Structure 1
Amino acid sequence: MPILQKYRAYYRSNFLLGLPVMLAQAGQMIVVLADNLMVGRLGTVPLAAASFANTVYIVGMVFGIGMVNGLTPLVGKACGGGDTLKAAMWLKQGLYAFQVATLALSLLLWLISYLMPFMGQADEIVQEALPYYRILVVSMIPNLLFFTFKQFAEGLGNTRIAMVITIVSNIVNILLNYLWIFGKWGFPALGLMGAGYATLVARILMALFFIVVYFSLDFFKEYRLKLKKTHFSWSKSKYLLMLGLPIGGQHFIEVLAFSLGSIMMGWLGASALAAHQIVLSFASFTFMISQGIAAATTVKVSHLVGQRFYDKIRTVTFASLHLVLLFMGFSAVLFMVFREVLPAFFIQQPEVIAIAAGLMVVAGGFQLFDGLQVTMLGALRGLEDVRMPFAMLLIAYFCLALPAGWLFAFVLDAGPNGIWFGYLLGLVSISLFLLLRFRWITLRKMKRA
């Protein structure tokens, strides 16, 4: 089609840049699945303890990962402008600022562990969850060091290195899980603690692998040389944190909103909550694909900003949007057509499948707008616009999606579907807000160019 001709050059490059991000995230999902399968063989209490610990931990973890994402657009802008010294300078600021912020975040999460006995869980679950949770908190330090190098490399346009390191570390994680959880090859059987130690060791290896790669590959040679000429700057580090913290806030808001939705779903009964988790698993998988394209969009847009090619920013972004909407549209059709078949892979209870089938229809509509909003967030990050999107997400989820979900589900008696209607309404609104915001910023930049 002639109208799509100008986007063709970017379809392939955007997809190939985002593909390693998708594969790395898929690897992480496989590790989570392997963890659950192995810990589940220990019994109900260890599995519940792992779930409880991860639920508390994940909110802080996604905030930290989001925070470190602030490095990518700054490095990308410097790379696009051909300023290797500035790109190296941002890496140095990230290594200092993010590690201090990580230590503070880890301390906060450690202190939260003293509140876990008061979160309404059975004593036996809390007792087993606490040491496992604290190991996870310690593992955050090397994990966010890895992400600092990862986001630096992505800013330079290389997403493959992090993918390879992640996949290798995931294999190590699964192997150590098997050895330490069940006590194989002469190791003691550590149970849930074995899973925690395996995660810690794998994350330490991820950080060490990337440090070795950074000091070994010719790809980073010029940046290593320039790094020696840079120095720590409070003002630069502050700017980096002011860019990263709202991104962390965006991740935090989304995780918290879906966690609160799960709590509301639990008010409707165990079957509703089980159906909700099943549908959320499918939605999370498709979101992972969109997130990979969004990450590529951030890199491409930041490079164009550095090159001052503002007229191409829209073309690159809409090329990503076409890819995402095509995939999410296909996913939506699958969700609706196979709404009763897909949940049956998880569970055989007719009541749960019936509820999940209804949710799958709503999730089908949810797909398109979920892909739209994450792609636009990626483009706006490339433009270093993060504070207003953070405010938009806050309003959309907490002033619209969750209240509307409660109203539909409990006042208008829409049941489980009502909560997902609330999410759908929130995503429609945030998608429109972000599109308008993107249009306004790009028009302003083109006029000033």
Structure 2
Amino acid sequence: MKKTVTKREKIIQLSSILFPILITQLGLYSMNFFDTTMSGKVHPTDLAGVAIGSSLWVPVYTGLSGILLSITPIIAHLVGANKNKEVPNIIIQGLYLSVILSIIIIIVGYFSLDPILTNMGLEQEVRHIAKGYLIALSFGILPLFIYAVLRCFIDALGFTRVTMFITLTSLPINFVFNYLFIFGKFGFPKLGGIGAGVASAITYWCITVIALVIIMKQSPFKEYYVFKTFYKASFKAWNEILKIGVPIGLSIFFETSIFAAVTLLMSQYNTITIASHQAAINFASFLYMLPLSISMALTIIVGHEIGAKRLKDAKQYSYIGIGLAIFLSALSAACIYFFRPEVASIYTSDAAVLKLTQDFLIYAIFFQLSDAIAAPIQGVLRGYKDVNITFIMALVSYWVIGLPVGYLLATYTTLDAFGFWIGLISGLAAGAIGLSIRLHIIQRKNEIALIQKS
């Protein structure tokens, strides 16, 4: 990654990193999007079952895979400081951790899945689909976590176009297997929502194999000789990964789990409400890929700049990224407002679900601005390797402010299910304010430290 001087050069370099990440994130999210929309075409019960299954899986996956995201800033710092020989060991240690995390998830899920679903009070068919979806998905957990590490390596070097290629290659695979297993085409069993889990598991194996081949065969990745040397498990390396990764994972978990918690609390309502909520939250999450991708790009670029001791450049990149996120999120909010009927019709043809989804989408508009501020700042702070305060802010914003406010409004006012959405908006806004203050403190602290050294 080259050094930039002018603002124009920085915008061009940020865009070159960002665009492939955005396509990649949209592609990865499209797998969940396909699961949701294609299942909804079978029956609202299938949509609700996949919604519950996803709500249980997504916070677990994003939280634990978030631990592995620490590999990106670690490698970015090493490459920025010209310590390339230390990179392979970090990757291998990350792979060891990915296997351990996968095994833990499978064991915990085996013993806890039935009690969790049983105590949710779901309709029997919804519970059956949710359980089958998660069991099918579990066969792809191991490759998915391995891929998370490989992707961090590829992205940290700035070659985000490669992960974009992998994702775009996997999309037709996911779509085809969804079509075969959800609807039972060409002699395959018609599994409904459960088939979406089967298709996703197969896709996870495919993207992992593709990533491994590229790393071993293509430049510049093969020059790192990642798999040439056998590295023993290193608790020192694990500690470095976990020291940064655990706070990242927890902050992501706190954010994603509150959305999952709200969906689970929605189980007290009827299937129409669950399906409508899931459709609206699915689309809002789809648009969240914009600020999230900017966040990931900023982690890479800021990490390189900090590793090279270019604090001024890191700061400039930060504000360019935040400004871009605000602009794009404003456009997203406008799209939601003017195209609510069209968006709702993507997910369902059921008249009741169609109408209620449009009502939920009004509240999704207010997610956009908070996400546009909070997500990029999180990425910048990870580039600085400042992660501990961030996860505390996430805990307070989402679980101390957001969820209680939502519960009170849903339970004790006439807002009902919409009260939970107002709670989500409150939590996101609180997080955006706290992160903004933290970024100012960290940038000021780094500037003072640099002055003192010189």
Structure 1 pair 84–371 and aligned structure 2 pair: CA distance change class (3 A): same
Which amino acid counterpart does residue 315 of structure 2 have in structure 1? R
**Structure 2: how far apart are the matches of 1:64 and 1:278?**
25
Q: What's 2:17 paired with?
A: 17
Structure 1 pair 285–33 and aligned structure 2 pair: CA distance change class (3 A): closer
Contact 1:15–1:293, Cα closer than 8 Å, also in 2: no
Contact 2:51–2:278, Cα closer than 8 Å, also in 1: no
Contact 2:40–2:348, Cα closer than 8 Å, also in 1: no
| CA shift for structure 1 position 395 | 0.4
> In terms of mean alpha carbon deviation, does 344-353 or 22-31 score higher?
344-353
Structure 1 pair 227–246 and aligned structure 2 pair: CA distance change class (3 A): farther
Which amino acid counterpart does residue 189 of structure 1 have in structure 2? P
Q: What's 1:426 paired with?
A: 427
| CA shift for structure 1 position 331 | 2.1
2:159 is paired with a residue whose SS is coil
Q: What's 1:62 paired with?
A: 62
> In terms of mean alpha carbon deviation, does 54-63 or 374-383 score higher?
54-63
Residue 159, structure 1, aligned to residue 160, structure 2: yes
**Structure 1: how far apart are the matches of 2:223 and 2:344?**
51
**Structure 1: how far apart are the matches of 2:423 and 2:47?**
30
Q: What's 1:106 paired with?
A: 106
> In terms of mean alpha carbon deviation, does 209-218 or 164-173 score higher?
164-173
1:430 is paired with a residue whose SS is helix
1:120 is paired with a residue whose SS is coil
| CA shift for structure 1 position 83 | 1.1
Structure 1 pair 37–424 and aligned structure 2 pair: CA distance change class (3 A): closer
RMSD: 3.0
**Structure 2: how far apart are the matches of 1:85 and 1:226?**
13
Q: What's 1:447 paired with?
A: 448
> In terms of mean alpha carbon deviation, does 263-272 or 151-160 score higher?
263-272
Which amino acid counterpart does residue 35 of structure 1 have in structure 2? D
Q: What's 1:210 paired with?
A: 211
Structure 1 pair 347–49 and aligned structure 2 pair: CA distance change class (3 A): closer
Contact 2:98–2:142, Cα closer than 8 Å, also in 1: no
| CA shift for structure 1 position 263 | 4.5
Q: What's 2:308 paired with?
A: 307
1:288 is paired with a residue whose SS is helix
Structure 1 pair 422–302 and aligned structure 2 pair: CA distance change class (3 A): same
Contact 1:84–1:222, Cα closer than 8 Å, also in 2: no
Contact 1:81–1:307, Cα closer than 8 Å, also in 2: yes
**Structure 2: how far apart are the matches of 1:200 and 1:353?**
30
Q: What's 2:287 paired with?
A: 286
Normalised to the residue count of structure 2, the TM-score between the two structures is 0.87
> In terms of mean alpha carbon deviation, does 428-437 or 220-229 score higher?
220-229
Which amino acid counterpart does residue 152 of structure 1 have in structure 2? F
| CA shift for structure 1 position 7 | 3.5
> In terms of mean alpha carbon deviation, does 218-227 or 40-49 score higher?
40-49
Q: What's 2:34 paired with?
A: 34
1:218 is paired with a residue whose SS is coil
Residues 145-183 of structure 1 show CA distances to partners (whole Å, capped at 9, x for unaligned) of 011100111111111112211221221222233344555
Q: What's 2:398 paired with?
A: 397
> In terms of mean alpha carbon deviation, does 387-396 or 405-414 score higher?
405-414
Residues 92-124 of structure 1 show CA distances to partners (whole Å, capped at 9, x for unaligned) of 221122222222222212222342344323445
**Structure 1: how far apart are the matches of 2:12 and 2:55?**
37
Structure 1 pair 89–348 and aligned structure 2 pair: CA distance change class (3 A): closer
Normalised to the residue count of structure 1, the TM-score between the two structures is 0.88
Residue 436, structure 1, aligned to residue 434, structure 2: no
Contact 1:65–1:248, Cα closer than 8 Å, also in 2: yes
| CA shift for structure 1 position 129 | 4.5
Q: How does 1:320-339 map to 2 (within 5 A)?
A: 320-337=321-338
Residues 117-152 of structure 1 show CA distances to partners (whole Å, capped at 9, x for unaligned) of 443234454445444422312311011101110011
Residues 380-413 of structure 1 show CA distances to partners (whole Å, capped at 9, x for unaligned) of 1111122211110100111111222233444454
**Structure 2: how far apart are the matches of 1:197 and 1:277?**
20
**Structure 1: how far apart are the matches of 2:411 and 2:226?**
61
Q: What's 2:80 paired with?
A: 80
Residues 49-94 of structure 1 show CA distances to partners (whole Å, capped at 9, x for unaligned) of 4444333222322223212211111011111111101222211221
Residue 95, structure 1, aligned to residue 95, structure 2: yes
Structure 1 pair 321–232 and aligned structure 2 pair: CA distance change class (3 A): same
Contact 1:106–1:141, Cα closer than 8 Å, also in 2: no
| CA shift for structure 1 position 277 | 3.4
Which amino acid counterpart does residue 204 of structure 2 have in structure 1? R
Q: How many residues align?
A: 444
Q: What's 1:245 paired with?
A: 246
Q: What's 1:379 paired with?
A: 380
Contact 2:215–2:221, Cα closer than 8 Å, also in 1: yes
Return 5+ residue gaps in structure 1 as ranges.
none
> In terms of mean alpha carbon deviation, does 328-337 or 135-144 score higher?
328-337
Which amino acid counterpart does residue 206 of structure 1 have in structure 2? I
2:220 is paired with a residue whose SS is helix
Contact 2:24–2:167, Cα closer than 8 Å, also in 1: yes
**Structure 2: how far apart are the matches of 1:163 and 1:13?**
17
Contact 1:85–1:226, Cα closer than 8 Å, also in 2: no
Q: How does 1:121-132 map to 2 (within 5 A)?
A: 121-127=122-128, 129-132=130-133
Return 5+ residue gaps in structure 2 as ranges.
none
